[in-house]
Every structure is written in structure tokens, then in C-alpha cells.
Amino acid sequence: MDWNSFVTLLPAFLQGTWMTIRLFLITLLFSLPLGMIITKGRMSKMKWLSGLVAVFQWVIRGTPLMLQLVIVMYFPSIALGIKGVNRFTAAGIAFIINYAAYFSEIYRSGIESIPAGQLEAAKVLGLSKGRTFRRIILPQTVKRILPAMGNEFMTLVKDTALAQVIGNIELLKVAQSQMNRTTSMVPLLIAGVFYMIMNGAVQLIIAAWENRLDYYKG
């Protein structure tokens, strides 16, 4: 596979990369806030709600993302006899639900790591629960969970390759198609470079965010 062949294939790789980036961004846009809602439910003092959320987390985290993709894509039409969503939307829904379940546990571990004395001090100072969470709990939680969240973000970049199981044309799918057409491993190597570039960008963003929060050493 020579340079001219690579230039010819580049538009297809860029299109696959754009699909990967779109799925990555849409997943984060919705799963990050949804994860916080799930955390609130999991930490609720209402036992039935906390238990229900715990079961939901167990199911989502205990089953493969690939299986969840297939269910979201085909369950409505096969089991319910109604028209399902398009392939990209199905992938987005499955990824959002899956990653929200994982993010929620990271949030919970971060929130529960804050010393109870800080909550008591805020209460003595007359701060409301909402203000205490925004001004005291949230900044410290973000600082503590950033490494774990960074790992999840990088995993998400790679997991987008699973979207091909329901027919989405993302980066790895393009590479596999070109490998079969050219009988060369080079397309897979090119895809690997693209994934490393995307994860390199994610790593730089997380590092910059950690530096901005470096004022907190707790």
C-alpha cells in the first residue's frame, strides 16, 4: 500500500473518524448529567428507589455493551412490532445508558469520599444543601474523580468501535473494509494511529483540567 493509496483512502478514514467523534461527544453530553441523576437515586434515603437504581446499575454493568447495542437496535421491532430507531441513534442510546451507569458509580465514590465534617461545618454556617453541594462537595469531587473519569473517556473512544455490530460505519469498520479490499494490514495500523491521536487529545484535556484544579490538594 503506497502513499497514493493512502491519500485515496484518507476521506473514508476521516468520515469514519468523524462518526467516532460524534458518538463520543453525544455519549458524554448526555451520560455525564444522567450519571449524576442516577447517583442521586442510588444515594437516596428512600430504600425502594436506591434498590431499584442498584439493580439497574447491576444489569447495565453486568452485561456486555455489544449486547445492549443489539437490544436497543432490534428489540422494538422484534419484540414490540414497532419501528425501531436508526443505527446511529440506537448506538447513541446504548452508549449513553451504559456509560451513565459507570459514571454514576464514579460520582458516588467521589461524593462519599468527602469527610462528613465538611458537611457538618457547612450546616453550622447556615449553607443550604444545594449551595453546600455546589460550593464544597462538587469541586472536591471533580478533583478526586478526574483520573477515573479520564480512563473512562479514553475507554469510550475505543468502545465506539463496537458500534459496527449494528452496522454503523465508524473508524474500525472503515479500516476492516479497506483491509479486506487491499489485502493489507496497513489500514488497521492507520486506524490505530487515529485512535491514539484521539485518546492523546483526551489525555491532554484531562491533564489541563487537573492542572486547573491543582489548587485543591485534598
At 77, the pLDDT band (50, 70, 90 cuts) reads confident
Q: Which tens digit of pLDDT belongs to each residue from 109-125?
A: 988 887 777 777 777 77
Is position 182 within any domain? yes
The answer to whether residues 4 and 181 touch, using CB atoms and an 8 Å cutoff, is: no
218 lies in a domain?
Answer: no
The verdict on residue 63 lying in a domain is yes
Q: Is the confidence at residue 88, as pLDDT, over 80?
A: yes
130: cell is 444545594
The CATH number that applies at residue 38 is 1.10.3720.10
- Per the domain annotation, does 165 fall within a domain? yes
Predicted pLDDT at 23: 95
Question: Is 102:61 a contact under the CB 8 Å cutoff?
Answer: yes
Domain count across the chain: 1
Specify if 137 maps to a domain. yes
pLDDT at residue 197, as a whole number: 95
Whether 37 maps to a domain, the answer reads yes
Residue 207 lies in a domain: yes
Q: Is residue 217 part of a domain?
A: no
Q: Mean pLDDT score of the chain, rounded to an integer?
A: 87
Query: In this predicted model, what pLDDT tens digit does every residue of 135-182 receive, in sequence order?
Result: 777 778 888 899 999 999 999 999 999 999 888 888 888 888 888 887
Query: Domain range holding 50?
Result: 3-212
Look up cell 439493580; give the residue: 55
Task: Report which DSSP code applies to 161.
Answer: G
List the single range of 38-42, 141-145, 202-206 with lowest mean pLDDT: 141-145
